[in-house]
Amino acid sequence: MSPTRSAQRIVRDVVFVDGVRTPFGKAGEKGIYAGTRADDLVVKCIRELMRRNPSLPADRVDEVAIAATTQTGDQGLTIGRTAALLAGLPRTVPGFAIDRMCAGAMTAVTTTASGIGFGAYDVVIAGGVEHMGNHPMGAGADPNPRFMSERLVDPAALNMGNTAENLHDRFPAITKDRTDTYAAASQAKLAAAYANEQIQHDLVPVATMKPGQGWTLHTTDEPPRPGTTVEDLAELRTPFRAHGRVTAGNAAGLNDGATAAVLASAEAAEELGLPVKMRLVSYAFAGVEPEVMGIGPVPATEKALKNAGLGIEDIGLFEINEAFAVQVLSFLDHFGIADDDPRVNRYGGAIAVGHPLASSGVRLMNQLARQFQEDPSVRYGITTMCIGLGMGATVIWENPHHADYASSTSDQATTAATAVTEGAAA
């Protein structure tokens, strides 16, 4: 018998060690990152992760995966590899780039986590960046004419705002008043989280220089509008449809920012003395009709729950990316969750803080990890998001601070050891 077949392969536990992000900025000439390179934002995150985790030797990083939706210019040239070199990691550390639009960073995490589980890596850095000021969404894209000539998708599928209006059409119970109410609450929750210093720890200060202004150190997010009311939002225009329901106030804006996280096998984390903030339980991606892409988190979550052997009632915290309020509410309605359920986006979401496309997945994870630490009564939480062109993504995580966490991981270790023993005997 071949040595490679003498034992069953062990699927190892994957843990979220640490995550950081830059403050998010508004895209455009007046935004805080106008004149700043996207790859430099990623480098800031990688360097901060290494600074915060001094027990992690740089040469123990096995891979760097960085996502960007527009992979050109300062977001091109295999940005995972270039960012690793620019951050000062050893040249022996490889890297690659990922594109799954809004779920880029989330896919960077799940892809490298799969490598850890398989045994190809022990420690990785995964994240994403989007500088929408330098690279407006869709800029330079050349959609195949067959999309239109053969009617493969509705033309609305290529404009995310139109897909959100389509979602309102499909679910008429989700009114503009509901979405505005949800959006105002998102702003209020983020403002409260800032006041309670629940956001600042994950932020990497970024210094920028603009001609005539000199250097500025940015330590907070630029997009939030604290004090926003439903009455304020009711006055905004509906740019995607006359008398529509989607506005700049109940949707995420156009933003710049970067995120990065350290993931490791449970064994490597213990060996290196790295913290464990979450354990990955399962993940799933799903496709839906592109013209209603916002519903994507529903089938992705159902699939992830099934893979984990869990039900929606087992989930104690939800971090849902707020690309559009209607998209979040369609998810909540499907699972019978109230609009103001305290388990949902406790620190607010992308409507308030911003959504630099490919970077946002790790922001969700950072916030879930922080909430796990604050609330040991919660065992499982999810990070989920819709994805352009009709997809959804969901990752289920376990809270290491929960009383049952230690016993569950020890049971899994016993099962894995038994599998190896039985495989070797065979």
Domain boundaries, the chain: 11-135+149-396
Q: What is the pLDDT of residue 203?
A: 98
- Check if 135 is active-site: no
Q: State the Cα angle at 22 between 19 and 27, rounded to 5°.
A: 140
Q: What is the pLDDT of residue 222?
A: 97
Q: What is the pLDDT of residue 309?
A: 98
| pTM of the shown model | 0.93
Q: What is the pLDDT of residue 417?
A: 41
Among candidate residues 17, 14, 109, the one with its CA nearest the CA of residue 63: 109
Cβ count within 10 A of residue 231: 9
Q: What is the pLDDT of residue 419?
A: 39
Which is catalytic among the residues 131, 135, 168, 355?
355
Which is catalytic among the residues 45, 102, 135, 218?
102
Among candidate residues 260, 280, 315, 304, the one with its CA nearest the CA of residue 392: 304
Q: What is the pLDDT of residue 415?
A: 46
Cα–Cα distance, 197 to 351 (Å, whole number): 19
Q: What is the pLDDT of residue 110?
A: 98
Q: What is the pLDDT of residue 138?
A: 80
Q: What is the pLDDT of residue 276?
A: 98
Cα–Cα distance, 361 to 319 (Å, whole number): 10
Percent of the chain with pLDDT over 90: 86
CA torsion sign, 375 to 278 to 187 to 324? negative
Looking at residue 398, its amino acid is E
Q: How far from 214 is each of 34, 211, 289, CA to CA, in Å?
A: 13, 6, 48
Low pLDDT (below 70) residues in the chain: 1-8, 407-426
Q: What is the pLDDT of residue 25?
A: 98
- Check if 102 is active-site: yes
Helix (H, G, I), strand (E, B) or coil at 78: coil
Q: What is the pLDDT of residue 2?
A: 53
Which CATH number is associated with domain 11-135+149-396?
Answer: 3.40.47.10
Contact 163, 170 (CB under 8 A): no
Q: Residue 15 has which token pair?
A: 């843990």
Which is catalytic among the residues 131, 168, 218, 386?
386
| DSSP conformational letter for 388 | T
Q: What is the pLDDT of residue 7?
A: 57
Q: How far out from the chain centre does Cα 78 lie?
A: 20
For residue 129, list its beta bridge partners.
258
Helix (H, G, I), strand (E, B) or coil at 45: helix
- Give Cβ neighbours of residue 22 (< 8 Å, ≥ 6 apart): 41, 44, 45, 203, 204, 206, 218, 257, 258, 259
Q: How far from 391 is each of 107, 162, 173, 285, CA to CA, in Å?
A: 12, 16, 23, 7
Q: Residue 201 has which token pair?
A: 């720890």
Q: What is the pLDDT of residue 412?
A: 56
